[in-house]
Amino acid sequence: MDAGQPSRSAMSAAVARGIHRIHDAPPWILDDPFALPLVGDGWQAFAEQSVALSRPPYQARSGVLLRARYPEDVLASGVYAQYVILGAGLDSFAWRHPDFVRKGRLFEVDHPATQTWKRERMRALALPASDRQVLVPADLTGDTLDASLTRAGFDWSLPSLLSWVGTTMYLGPDAIGATLRIVARCAAGSGIVLSYNPRPELLDDLHREVLDDVSRLVAGMGEPLRSAFAPDEIERLAATAGLQVAEAPSHADLERRYFNGRPDGMRLLMIERLLWLRV
């Protein structure tokens, strides 16, 4: 990321979530009424980029929506006292799920430059704050996540779910491995849902073409893609860190589960792969 600049890819992802209500028909993959207000003026330019990346009925927003939805489904399917969103960007979980925040604790970890900007947007929109929603500034290349979480009040003895979507591809394998080793120190019953970019040769022609477009776009935002894995490579990195695979859903699994019979005919365009790991 460019020093001192909030992540434009985070704004772009938020806009992809926000325009779902404008362009598509319910049922929503994920309903995010906070996304466009959080981005504020200029969201239309990101919306145009999202449309340009799409190959209808394969919409670029579909993958962004799904990578936000899937960890929230994992959270809802288990008993977790704490939810940690790594590389949170403009995630609006806190306001979409006030019930969780009333009972559990939410930690949003992000690069300080992005988080400072998000705080300003939250203040400008007068979004409700809670001491159970803790914003934790941390650079995930710095190997200080555990200290940052501890300082923020994270309780390492409680079962926790971490979500880390749309972010590992901006980091190198060393930083990813270091973060996974910290996750492995969480209490029994904890887990992490992450997304990663697969090696380009594992993609079909449509997704490889879109990956080329995305690579150019995010490099132009000062956020070049830095990592891609074969499934066995990322699973080995996770195993070495001490984590076990709970689920590694395929693109076809996810399309069947979330996009079957949609009234708007939207199909899943998603370069990333999702991986749910258990401590």
Which residues of this chain interact with ligand SAM, rule CB under 6 A?
1, 7, 9-10, 13-14, 68, 87-89, 91, 110-111, 114, 139-141, 165-167, 170
Of the pair 62, 114, the CB lying nearest ligand SAM is at: 114
Judged by CB, which is closer to ligand SAM: 40, or 265?
40
- Tell me whether residue 101 or residue 193 sits nearer to ligand SAM (CB atom): 193
CA distance 224 to 202: 20
Quick one: 87 or 104, whose CB is closer to ligand SAM? 87
**CB of 104 or CB of 166, closer to ligand SAM:** 166
Instruction: Name the minimum Å distance from CB 202 to ligand SAM.
Output: 21
The minimum distance between CB 8 and ligand SAM, in angstroms, equals 9
Smallest gap from Cβ 243 to ligand SAM, in A, equals 19
Of the two residues 113 and 203, which places its CB atom closer to ligand SAM in the complex? 113
Shortest CA distance to 279 belongs to which of 175, 152, 157, 139?
A: 157
Rg of the chain in Å (alpha carbons) = 17
Cβ contacts of 261 within 8 Å, gap of 6 or more: none
CB-closest chain residue to ligand SAM:
89
Q: CB pairs under 8 A, 24+ apart, for 176-181?
A: 176/227, 176/237, 177/237, 177/240, 177/241, 178/143, 178/145, 179/86, 179/140, 179/145, 180/237, 180/238, 180/241, 180/243, 180/277, 181/241, 181/242
CA distances from 72 to 4, 31, 67, 134, 193 (A): 30, 12, 9, 18, 9
Side chain identity, residue 16: A
As measured in angstroms, the least distance from the Cβ of 70 to ligand SAM is 11
Minimum distance of ligand SAM from residue 31's CB (angstroms):
15
Residue 120 CB contacts under 8 Å (≥ 6 apart), including other chains: none
Shortest reach from residue 132's CB to ligand SAM, in Å: 20
How far is 20 from 27, CA to CA, in rounded Å? 10
In angstroms, give the least distance from the CB of 167 to ligand SAM: 4
Reduced to 3 states, what is the DSSP secondary structure of residue 83? strand
Give 48 or 232: the residue with its C-beta nearer to ligand SAM: 48
